[in-house]
Structure 1
Amino acid sequence: MLELDLMPVQIDVWSDFVCPWCFLASVTLERLQQSHNIEINRHAFELRPQGSPPMPQDYRDYIEQVGHPQFVAAARARYGLEINAGPFGIDSRKALIGAQYARLQGASDAYHDAVYRAYWQQAQSIDDPEVLVKIAASVDLDAGEFREALASSELDMAVSLDIAQARRYEITSVPSMIFDKQYLVSGAQPYEVLSEIVDKIQLGEALA
């Protein structure tokens, strides 16, 4: 039951579309929106900024042989999600710029969900602007305006400002969430954990 009589709890979320655990965290936040009065503010974070050196082969091997199978198993067991991931190691900058445009249009949640599912369940290359345009159109964003927005220097700067803000909060990994502008929670936490945090904030109880 949605507790509309309680003050909304603001949750600032830093994430990257190519982060598997960010996808799971986003699914959990969608569920939390259905049960609690919360306001989600989504912020950009780049796991591999433009110009990063090539990923070491041993790290790629670890991700593909250990990390990815663990994620696939967790997505299926805990969330009932089947994973069919897009290309590994791609640049997410354009997708993050698109998210800034979607936010201005009031479509942040819908855009994030659509991009996550396109990449993690439909194996789409979200570094391709035309793929992003189709995703944007699927959530009723104007395709022409969105295509222009992907080239916007102002929106690109907005992504950089989000990342700079994360640094000020000493956020070095995602997903990271700040509840009520004071409680930092890292990782894809279970719904029950996030629900308890929101409940305690709304009731004025101390968090451990």
Structure 2
Amino acid sequence: MTQATLRTIWMTGALLLFVFVFTMHSETQNSDFTLVIKLPIEFKASENISHVGYALHGLRMIGLVFWTIPFLAWIHARGESGSAASAFPFRLLDIQPASVPGVVVQTIAFLLLIVAPLVSAVHFWQIVEGEGKVCQPIPAIACEGIWSRPVEPGRYWDHTYRLTDGTTNRGPSYEPFVEPILALALLAVALGFVILLLREMCRAQKRPLTIHEPS
């Protein structure tokens, strides 16, 4: 795969994820402003979702998908040389990444596409962990925290549990204990790839400049 193809794949995935995360973040703030991209598929809630539900969806998406963004960026950086800005796979029009305007563009892109999702993940986690309640279909059963499972739990992933804000037992399906562990583990993986990306961007400055296809 060429560097240009890798950049195209990376930018498509990173921008789509940014739009989704931005929308979920806005919904947790009860904001009417969202970013919209016309796609063959559409994310649309089938019912009113609380800010806890939006935080859960945002955390799930970041956990499942975000690690691929710094991972692919790291792969790209390993094939670049000359400057840290060029090693980062974002490109805007014909601006040269190593130029002064290019460095500014690359810095902004890094903050929006790498740092911002991590900040949103912390925001989502604070809502889910601090305000989320695990409820069951039977209203008589008291809702508990996100780590709690009954003494005799049902099967996994059978829609027994719902994550809500505690005011109702209606909300997204949720697996207590399992999902928080998976989310934290995947976020740790993503953070590890971010560190590798930063290290490889620094190394790119020390490698002899080589000629690739046009950036």
Q: Select the structure of larger CA radius of gyration.
A: 2
Q: Does the TM-score normalized on the shorter chain lie above 0.5?
A: no
TM range (shorter): under 0.3
Greater strand fraction, Structure 1 or Structure 2: 1
- For normalisation by structure 2, the TM-score amounts to 0.24
- For normalisation by structure 1, the TM-score amounts to 0.25
